Amino acid sequence: MAAMTLTEQILARHAGREHVAPGDNIWVDTDILMTHDVCGPGTIGVFKKHFGNDAKVWDREKVVIIPDHYIFTADAMANRNVDTLRQFVAEQDIKYFYDVGTPSYKGVCHIALPEEGHTRPGEVLFGTDSHTCTAGAFGEFATGIGNTDAGFVMGTGKLWVKVPPTMRFFFHGEMPPYLMAKDLILTVIGDIGCDGATYRAMEFDGDGVYALNIEERMTLCNMVIEAGGKNGVIEPDQVTLDYVNQRNKDKHPYTPVYRQKGVKYDFEKVYDVSKLEPVVAKPHSPDNRACVSEVKGTRLDRAYIGSCTGGKMTDFVAAARIMKGRQVKIDTFVVPATTEIAKGLKTEKLNGQTLEEVFLSAGAKIGEASCAACLGGPADTFGRLNQALSCISTTNRNFPGRMGHKEAQVFLASPLTLAASAVTGTIADPRDCMQ
């Protein structure tokens, strides 16, 4: 029997099979279904249409509902979406609901899930958001699905899945201080294109990957969807297990899977991280990669640091290292991904100053924990591009209209590159600003 990849092992176990291979169509059992305020109402509508208005979800403790996208807005339709979630949670007695305006509110679903212990090695996580693949950093099969599939999972706990082939990306060498995981994944996407991993698993390996902390690994897996990937995955190590065990409040048992000898990959590519440069993705596609040295000096109107890709503590510490003692020369918006991270900005210190003090002293504006302008949102969304501005951002997409105005120009970058650019006023190389 042929060796299986990490993704194949997880799917085989959840299908009750000894072995699966790429292209196999299988029924898999779901460990967690996540939905939020954008897709939740549609998922609920599908569920009720096909299972009945009085139907109950398959497991009230396995459905996690996290409003996070269009939260801090006066928009009536956005507010109604959250009301729909609240009504459904009350009807179903859903255990895990992180409602805005309450002490349980969390923020961005992809960061809230691991913080609250919903991401565990060897499990299957489906979510009504393409960046659900973020959780592959914890050694699980995590992927985004549409409302129709989610409505079916909500009623049955199962989904019909085609097993994807696996691409392996091996990073070795010592990471330079001016690079971050965002540079690594933008380099990959630039190499293979936005369709280069279509319906494939992207597995990350190598000492360069395992030297990253868990938040940086999340950034790698987060953007596999920008290459068309089905899921991203990293084999768990002690760093993974320590994080998961600390957050696994309800002591859910889990069984990690590990790499098997002799496994064959659909594609393999090796990178020496010590030889990579800071990069950006130019408008209007994540694969429109350029080295920062090639676009250095490009005029900017705004900087935005936040989202599931760039709004974690590691991201803010990196940005603060450059912004401390300097002034931003363009409008700079700081948006923590979760309320836990927002609290961390007030307590984590850099040379005697909290991160919040560093950003405010530099002239940046700090918003509430949420997705905020990453997906554009209503006109009153914090940081939204309501004009045809040029913006550098730590978010994950830069398609026309993604952050608001259809004619806005969005450059994707690491928090280090963003901070250097914010204090310079043009796209800048972090190596020029690091002390």
| CA distance readout (Å), 27 to 158, 246, 274 | 6, 31, 42
By the 8 A CB rule, do 236 and 105 touch? no
Q: What tokens were used for 422?
A: 């914010």
What is the maximal distance between C-alpha atoms in the chain?
62
DSSP characters over 81-140: HHHHHHHHHHHHT-SEE--TTSTT--B-HHHHHHHTT---TT-EEEESSGGGGGGGGGTS
Q: What are phi and psi of 390, to 5 degrees?
A: -105, 120
Q: Which of these, 96, 104, 135, 102, lies nearest to 119 by C-alpha position?
A: 135
Give the chain's radius of gyration (CA, Å). 21
pLDDT (mean) for 22-33: 98
Q: What are phi and psi of 18, to 5 degrees?
A: -80, -25
Q: How far apart are CA 140 and CA 7, in angstroms?
A: 8
pLDDT (mean) for 228-256: 97
Q: Residue 186: what pLDDT?
A: 98
The SS3 of residue 344 is helix
Residues 6+ apart with CB under 8 A from 118: 32, 34, 64, 96, 125
The answer to whether residue 208 scores a pLDDT higher than 80 is yes
Q: Residue 1: what pLDDT?
A: 84
CA angle, residues 429, 430, 434, in degrees to nearest 5: 140
Task: Assign domain 6-249+266-270 one CATH number from 2.30.30.50, 3.30.499.10, 3.60.110.10, 2.60.40.1730.
Answer: 3.30.499.10
Q: What tokens were used for 406?
A: 């259809």
Q: Provide the pLDDT confidence category of residue 435 given band limits of 50, 70 and 90.
A: low
Tally of CB atoms within 10 A around 410: 27
DSSP characters over 287-340: T-EEEHHHHTT-B-SEEEEEHHHH-SHHHHHHHHHHHTT---SSEEEEE-SBHH
Residues 6+ apart with CB under 8 A from 183: 276, 277, 278, 279, 414, 417
Sign of the CA dihedral with 99 first, then 100, 105, and 109 last: positive
Q: Residue 417: what pLDDT?
A: 98
Q: How far apart are CA 104 and CA 89, in angstroms?
A: 14
DSSP state of 420: H
The SS3 of residue 350 is strand
- CATH code assigned to 280-432: 3.30.499.10
Q: What tokens were used for 78?
A: 């956005």
Q: Provide the pLDDT confidence category of residue 82 given band limits of 50, 70 and 90.
A: very high
Q: How far apart are CA 363 and CA 381, in angstroms?
A: 20
Q: How far apart are CA 427 and CA 411, in angstroms?
A: 9
Report the chain's mean pLDDT, rounded to a whole number.
Answer: 97
Residues 6+ apart with CB under 8 A from 376: 384, 385, 401, 402, 403, 404
- Name the β-bridge partners of 96: 64
Helix (H) or strand (E) holding 280, with range, is strand 279-281
Tally of CB atoms within 10 A around 59: 14
Q: Which of these, 146, 148, 116, lies nearest to 132 by C-alpha position?
A: 146
Question: Which residues of the chain does CATH 3.30.499.10 include?
Answer: 6-249+266-270, 280-432
